[in-house]
Structure formats: structure tokens, C-alpha cells
Amino acid sequence: MSHPSLHLAPEVADALAAGQPVVALESTIISHGMPYPQNVAMATEVEGIVREHGAVPATIAILDGRLCIGLSPDQLELLASDGNVTKVSVRDLPYVVARGQHGATTVAATMRLAAMAGIRTFVTGGLGGVHRGAQQTFDISADLTELGQTSVAVVSAGVKSILDIGLTLETLETLGVPVLGLGSDEFPSFYSRSSGHPAPMRVDSAAEVAAVMRAKWDLGIEGGIVIANPIPLEDEIPADEIGAIIDQALGDMDALGIRGKEATPYLLGRIVEITGGASLTANIALVRHNARLGAAIAVAYAGSGTPA
Ligand code: PSU
Ligand code: MN
């Protein structure tokens, strides 16, 4: 079932062959989303959380041009600490593979490789989306395009207000992507449980998410599903507090002339600086929370199929 160009870790290959739950994890969050060494500690911890909850973790990255599905501790360390790891969205994949380089995969590239491996559940922190000012810049993350066409369910804590949340939700609707608020009527905004935008659909359990996955793909409707899992109350940074900080980071970015694929990594790093690390603590907390949910979804989905 898995594409011949992929290098599956033995544990991942065995789980997929046996129809056991597997959870894909991205690597841009490690290489370009958090500072070292918190990034490798987070990546290792999240793999452990997925395991504790009954699924096999498969962190996805490109190492020496090889498409790796499931990484060793040494490989995680390299991704977290090596300065020569390219941020790889779908358009970057062929170049990095052809040149034998290292690449950290975004949500879009991770979805594509997960689907090629036969993995249907993917956990991350935050999705890319329509950037503020996209009316002029056309900066819309390829994460959205990929959600429109690749059949993987993606657990995130919603979309940060470095993006235009309303336009991101509109675009997901246009692309035919179900957006499910987990236990919430409101779509969350990553650091905050609220965004001012309703969640288009609500579910209240991992089993309900698995039922939507099954229904969508059984109908032959290809494409992703967004599960928006609000950050736990005790970990959230209230929207008004983080809003001013995000505005400051956006202003700094414009002043420096940073745009394109550098925009998201710059903003994440700047927000960590301005908050004195508080945003990083919240980011790690929400990824842990998403890992627990993602494992439960993978378990429920694996258990809901017709046995072969
Ligand atoms: N949001 C985060 N942390 C991240 C990213 C987004 O809170 O690490 C990363 C993800 O890998 C996402 C990518 O897929 O940024 C989006 O980048 P771009 O906007 O350039 O498509
Ligand atoms: Mn972009």
C-alpha cells in the first residue's frame, strides 16, 4: 500500500501492515517552529504521548533526500539542531529529494507523505492559512490546497491570528474541507480558546471524529478534515493579550521586509521573544493536548473499519 520511495521505520511498517493505529507528526514545527533544545524535547515527548495512548508515532521528514516516515532519536536531534534543514512544503519536495538534502515538512508536505504511506491521522500545533493582507500579497499557505485534496485528518489547535482566521475558514469551505470543533462551538485561535468565529461543525469525541473520516472517505470525497482542538483553559493566553503581541510581531516583520516562506517561522520566533517564552510554553501544552486526541482518533478510526 505504501509508496516505494518512502523509507518506513520498522515499527511504522509493522503497524500499518497489521492495520494498527499510526499518527503522523510534522517536522517543520521542530526545525522552524520552536527553538533548540525545547523543540527536540517536545518532539520526543509527543511521540511518547502517542504511544501511551495506543498508537505508533511516525514523525515525517526528509533526510539526505530520503523520505522518512518514522525517525530515530538521533534523526530527531539532527532536525532540531542542524542549521541546514530546509522548510519543505509540497512545492519544495522534489528539489530537496533530487539534491539529497535535509528537509523539515510542513503540514502540507507531511499530509502528502502520510497519505502516500497509508496514514490517515496527523497531529500538529497550528495550521497555515490565509495570511493577513493576502488580498495584496496572495500569501495563502499550501496547507489549505493540500487539505482540499489529500485524505488525512489533521488535529490542530486552530489557526493563529498571525493569519486572517475568517478568510482561512472561508477558503476551507470553498475547498470542501470539514472543520470540526472538538467539544467547542467556537473555532480556536491556537494560543486562545476563542477566535470570534464559530466552529463550522461540532463533535464531542474521538469516535465522532472517526465516524466523519469514515463517512467522508467511504463516499469517495477525497481531501482532508480539520479537527480544531482548543488549548486547555489553564494553558491559554487570552486573545486580547496575545493580540497586541501578534500585531507587534507583524509590524516588526513588515519593517524587516520578511515575507514568503520565512514569514511564519519569523513570527513564531518573534512572539516567543516578545512573550519571554510564555508563547512557547502554551505552544508545547497545546501540542501535547493534540497528541492525546490524535492518538485516540487513530485508535477509533482503526477500530471502525470493516476487517479485511
Ligand atoms: N504554525 C505554527 N507552528 C508551525 C507552523 C505553523 O504554529 O510550525 C508551520 C507548519 O509546518 C505549517 C507551516 O504547515 O508553518 C505553514 O507555513 P506556510 O505559511 O509558509 O505555508
Ligand atoms: Mn506562504
Note the pLDDT tens digit of each residue in 102-121.
999 999 999 999 999 999 99
Ligand showing the shortest atom-to-Cα distance for residue 61: 1
For position 189, what pLDDT does the model report?
97
Residue 185 has pLDDT above 70, yes or no: yes
By percentage, how much of the chain surpasses pLDDT 90?
A: 97
Q: Is the Cα torsion angle 10, 14, 73, 39 positive or negative in sign?
A: positive
For position 305, what pLDDT does the model report?
76
From the CA of 85, how far away is ligand 1's center (Å)?
Answer: 15
Clarify whether 26 is annotated catalytic: yes
Mean pLDDT of 270-285: 97
Clarify whether 160 is annotated catalytic: yes
Residue 306 banded pLDDT, cuts 50, 70, 90: low
Catalytic residue among 26, 47, 77, 236: 26
Residue 84 has pLDDT above 70, yes or no: yes
Cell for 137? 500579497
The set of protein residues with a Cβ atom below 6 angstroms from ligand 1 is: 26, 28-29, 33, 89, 106-107, 125-126, 128, 141-143, 160, 261, 264, 268
Catalytic residue among 87, 160, 216, 261: 160
Q: Say yes or no: domain 6-302 is CATH 3.40.1790.10.
A: yes
Residue 216 has pLDDT above 70, yes or no: yes
Q: Which of 106, 122, 167, 290 to mutate to test the pocket of ligand 1 (most atoms within 8 A of CB)?
A: 106
Mean pLDDT over each residue of the chain, to the nearest integer: 97
Global pTM exceeds 0.95: yes
Residue 307 has pLDDT above 80, yes or no: no
Q: Which residue has the higher pLDDT, 119 or 306?
A: 119
Q: Where are the alpha helices (DSSP H) in the chain?
A: 10-17, 28-31, 38-52, 73-81, 93-98, 107-117, 134-137, 142-149, 165-174, 206-218, 239-256, 263-274, 278-304
Residue 1 has pLDDT above 90, yes or no: no
Residue 308 has pLDDT above 70, yes or no: no
Which residues, at least 6 apart from 74, have a Cβ–Cβ distance to it below 8 Å?
none
Distance CA 285, CA 54 (A): 20
Mean pLDDT of 278-302: 98
Residue 233 has pLDDT above 80, yes or no: yes
User: Which residue carries 511504522 as its cell?
Assistant: 12
Mean pLDDT of 60-74: 98
Domain ranges of the chain: 6-302
Residue 174 has pLDDT above 50, yes or no: yes
Mean pLDDT of 222-233: 98
Distance CA 126, CA 282 (A): 12
Which residues, at least 6 apart from 136, have a Cβ–Cβ distance to it below 8 Å?
none
Q: Which atom of ligand 1 is nearest to the CA of 33?
A: 8
Residue 101 has pLDDT above 70, yes or no: yes
For position 2, what pLDDT does the model report?
85
Q: Which atom of ligand 1 is nearest to the CA of 106?
A: 11
For position 256, what pLDDT does the model report?
98
For position 139, what pLDDT does the model report?
95
Q: Which atom of ligand 1 is nearest to the CA of 107?
A: 14
pLDDT tens per residue across span 279-290: 999 999 999 999
